[in-house]
């Protein structure tokens, strides 16, 4: 089996552009040459790698090579950018050093609470540009499967092929509400009747944390009136201002609880396990990013 870099680059260009013609334009070759490269790569590995649809998408086998293409690009770009320890003295102006693209996936709460300093530290230590793709923690491994990111914060413990998984801890979510809101809607605590009519704030329609908390208080099938706020910081503010009750990360709501502007509604909490999955690749950039993520998570996860 022979896999060459031209074939990998062409596969990535086809999936990125959506058509063989778009790939040809980006690679400055003819569509016929693109087709020949893809056919040669498929023949070499004995698998169909691209679904000839509009847009063209990678097959499951193609996704494996698509990840390899992204990994190869990271390694070669890092080498050309001399990011293996050479100091800035090698450049007339260190600001001219090319920056390596580092795409990662995160859930909204981690990004809002503790991930930003990690990104800043990476960009201070290396000539990199971090791109964060955001989705629910239960869906982020899909970015890894398609090769869109080199690492993902996820609640899925099942390791994606070609990746390494490390448990970071758990984000603890508390059921809280504005103090006046709690006194009005839950004078006797969280009971079925009140849970069914009290306004609730959810992150989006993928959010299952609220449902998990409700199940700990009642088996009744209830559908509370729900406001959706798909942003971690604004979600926290909406609950604190009294838009409804919600489940907020303990690390994020601690100051408001101490100030008495919000009240904890239940002794029950919901812990969402968080893992860092990343390409299994010998890369100083991934090693440093992993070390920074692990160190930061210790202070905010349980």
pLDDT tens, residue by residue, 71-108: 877 777 666 555 444 444 455 666 766 778 899 999 99
pLDDT tens digit string along 31-57? 889 999 999 898 888 888 889 888 988
For domain 171-273, give the CATH number. Answer: 3.40.190.10
Let me know: does 6 contact 37? Beta carbons within 8 Å.
yes
Please tell me the predicted confidence (pLDDT) of residue 16.
Answer: 87
**Could you tell me the pLDDT band of residue 1, with boundaries at 50, 70 and 90?**
low
Q: What percent of the chain has pLDDT over 70?
A: 92
| pLDDT of 241 higher than 90 | yes
> Could you tell me the pTM of the whole model?
0.77
pLDDT at 44: 84
Would you state the pLDDT for residue 288? 94
- Mean of pLDDT over the chain: 88
Phi and psi at residue 80, to the nearest 5° = -65, -35
pLDDT at residue 271 tops 90: yes
Topology of domain 1-69, CATH: Arc Repressor Mutant, subunit A (1.10.10)
Average pLDDT score over residue span 266-291? 92
**Residue 132 region, left (φ>0) first, then alpha (ψ -120 to 50), else beta?**
beta
CB 104 within 8 A of CB 152: yes
Sign of the Cα torsion 92, 96, 98, 103 reads: positive
pLDDT at 150: 92
pLDDT computed for residue 84 by the predictor: 43
Residue 290: pLDDT over 90: yes
Task: Give the pLDDT confidence score for residue 156 in this predicted structure.
Answer: 92
- Mean pLDDT on 9-34: 90
> Mind listing the pLDDT tens digit for each residue in 131-189?
999 988 888 999 988 888 999 999 999 998 889 999 999 999 999 999 999 999 999 88
Distance CA 240, CA 258 (A): 13
**Same CATH topology for 1-69 and 171-273?**
no
- Phi (first) and psi of residue 6, to 5 degrees: -65, -40
Residue 131, pLDDT score: 95
Give residue 4's pLDDT band: very low, low, confident or very high (50, 70, 90).
Answer: confident
Q: Is the pLDDT of residue 9 over 80?
A: yes
- Kindly write down the DSSP assignment for every residue of 7-48, as one continuous string: HHHHHHHHHHHSSHHHHHHHHTS-HHHHHHHHHHHHHHHTS-
Overall average pLDDT of the 193-203 stretch: 92
Residue 94 confidence (pLDDT): 65
- Sketch the domain layout of the chain as residue ranges: 1-69, 171-273
């Amino acid at each position: 089996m022979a896999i060459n870099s031209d074939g990998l680059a062409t596969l990535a260009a086809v999936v990125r552009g959506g058509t063989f013609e778009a790939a040809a334009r980006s690679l400055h070759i003819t569509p016929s040459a693109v087709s020949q490269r893809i056919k040669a790569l498929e023949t070499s590995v004995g698998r169909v790698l691209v679904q000839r649809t509009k847009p063209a998408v990678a097959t499951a086998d193609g996704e494996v090579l698509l990840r390899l293409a992204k990994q190869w690009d990271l390694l070669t770009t890092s080498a050309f950018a001399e990011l293996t320890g050479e100091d800035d003295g090698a450049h007339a102006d260190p600001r001219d050093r090319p920056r390596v693209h580092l795409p990662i996936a995160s859930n909204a709460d981690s990004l809002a609470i503790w991930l930003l300093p990690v990104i800043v530290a990476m960009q201070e230590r290396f000539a990199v540009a971090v791109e964060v793709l955001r989705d629910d923690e239960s869906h982020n491994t899909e970015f890894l499967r398609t090769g869109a990111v080199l690492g993902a914060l996820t609640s899925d413990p099942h390791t994606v092929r070609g990746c390494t998984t490390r448990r970071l801890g758990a984000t603890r979510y508390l059921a809280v509400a504005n103090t006046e809101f709690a006194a009005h809607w839950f004078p006797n605590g969280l009971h079925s009747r009140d849970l069914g009519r009290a306004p609730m704030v959810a992150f989006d329609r993928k959010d299952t944390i609220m449902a998990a908390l409700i199940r700990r208080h009642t088996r009744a099938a209830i559908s509370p009136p729900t406001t959706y706020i798909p942003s971690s910081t604004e979600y926290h503010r909406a609950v604190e201002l009294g838009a409804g009750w919600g489940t907020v990360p303990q690390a994020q709501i601690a100051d408001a609880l101490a100030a008495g502007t919000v009240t904890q509604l239940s002794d029950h909490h919901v812990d969402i396990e968080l893992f860092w999955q990343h390409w299994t690749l010998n890369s100083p950039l991934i090693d440093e990013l992993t070390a920074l993520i692990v160190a930061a998570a210790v202070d905010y996860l349980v």
